[in-house]
Structure 1
Amino acid sequence: MKALKLFTSTALATATLLSVAPEAAASIKNPNDHPQYRAELEPHINSIFWRYNYAGAPRGRFRSFGDPEFGAGFRASIELADPAFIPKLNNTVAISFGVDFTNCQYCREDFWVWVPVTLQWNFFFNDKWSAFGDIGAVLRSDGFFADVYADPAFMLGGRYHFNDDIALTLRAGLPFITFGVSFFVGR
């Protein structure tokens, strides 16, 4: 329930901030008025500050908030539909997957391996700003896949586009906060 409240409040805050940009209305209502790409490749750094009842985590020493973890990862998103669910808006849908590594002071191997798979819904507001929501699942293992657990994944993010090929990307939600560079390929 806490994750749903966090997801909803983050979504409302993002929508509010993006709706105040005066030039946003110029592109959001023009389908296909965004960089044309087949895939988005995103190396990033990440952190985890909150957890959703991790199975396999030792009880007592392990808190649901705090005990931050840091690491790095890579995400690839392959475009599935353009325009997507709302044909009159500038939006796309992609399947997003990747691998992340974070330190873990309570794990057997001292790190977690994360494999997220999500559905990503993208909105392009103008030539500089876009936003997205990710929903799906993440497989988690401490170390070398001795034990594998499935966790939910809910994230919202935004991009600042330098040009049609490169953007800074920030993603926040459950379980990650990531910051990286997106490369749009395959026009």
Structure 2
Amino acid sequence: MKALPSLVSVALAGATLLTLAPEAQANIKNPNDHPDYVAELEPHANFVFLHRDYGLRRVGRRHYNDFGDPEFGLGFRATIELADPAFIPRLNNTVGISFGLDFTNCTYCRRDFTIWSPVTMQWNFFFNDQWSAFADIGAVLRTDGFYDDVWLDFVGMVGGRYHFNDDVSLTMRIGYPFFSFGVSFFTG
């Protein structure tokens, strides 16, 4: 498991280098030079490798670790565009509200599955016709099972997209609490 942070660092460095290529400067300074959309719909797969236990370690059939008990699952995220251009009017950026529902399963944890309900602000930057990046910051409600225990937690993630065309992109995000990989559909 110690190789995972190194692998993630290498992947992020590679994605950053790709977005900083000379041709990537083509659209970043042209506001509104990106897919025209109202909402982004994203089904994805999740990998959770960081946990916060809030002091709820229990002795019993399963043990819960902060790191090392990975969870895998599926989810769906929807982002509704709120501002275009956003905080920096001279750049090709948008802001939206993102919300979703994710289900993960942990074989070795004290619970069988977790339900996650994130709500974030998503700030998007469109570099060129193929590449965009974003940051998500907000909160998530995490539950063990069917709302037996509910916790409010922080969400902080960065991600990138490879756009096949104006309507579909491959999307990856990493941070706390998820690493997710999916496909985004831009609807207008």
With structure 1 as the length reference, what TM-score do the two structures score? 0.87
Q: Distance in 1 between matches of 2:185 and 2:19?
A: 25
Amino acid at match of 1:183: F
Name the structure 2 match of 1:4. Answer: none
Aligned ranges for residues 34-113 of structure 1 at < 5 Å? 34-51=34-51, 53-55=52-54, 57-58=56-57, 61-104=63-106, 105-108=108-111, 110-113=112-115
- 3-state DSSP of counterpart to 1:28: coil
User: What is the aligned length?
Assistant: 175
Where structure 2 has 5 or more consecutive residues not aligned to the other structure, the ranges are 1-8
Q: Distance in 2 between matches of 1:56 and 1:115?
A: 21
Deviation at 1:18, TM superposition (A): 4.8
Deviation at 1:56, TM superposition (A): 6.4
Q: Distance in 2 between matches of 1:158 and 1:115?
A: 21
Amino acid at match of 1:106: C
- 3-state DSSP of counterpart to 1:24: helix
Deviation at 1:62, TM superposition (A): 2.0
Name the structure 2 match of 1:177. Answer: 179
Q: Distance in 2 between matches of 1:158 and 1:117?
A: 18
Aligned ranges for residues 141-180 of structure 1 at < 5 Å? 141-180=143-182
Q: Distance in 2 between matches of 1:59 and 1:81?
A: 45
Question: Are 2:114 and 2:144, in contact at CA under 8 Å, matched by a contact in 1?
Answer: yes
Name the structure 2 match of 1:117. Answer: 119
Name the structure 2 match of 1:3. Answer: none
- 3-state DSSP of counterpart to 1:85: coil
Deviation at 1:25, TM superposition (A): 1.2
Name the structure 2 match of 1:21. Answer: 21
Amino acid at match of 1:28: I
Deviation at 1:127, TM superposition (A): 0.2
RMSD (Å), alpha carbons: 2.0
Deviation at 1:107, TM superposition (A): 3.9
Residue identity over aligned pairs, in percent, reads: 69
Q: Once the two structures are superposed, what CA deviation does each residue of 1:46-103 show, in whole Å capped at 9, x if it has no partner?
A: 010112x233642573222111000000000000000000000000000000000000
Deviation at 1:20, TM superposition (A): 2.8
Q: Distance in 1 between matches of 2:110 and 2:148?
A: 11
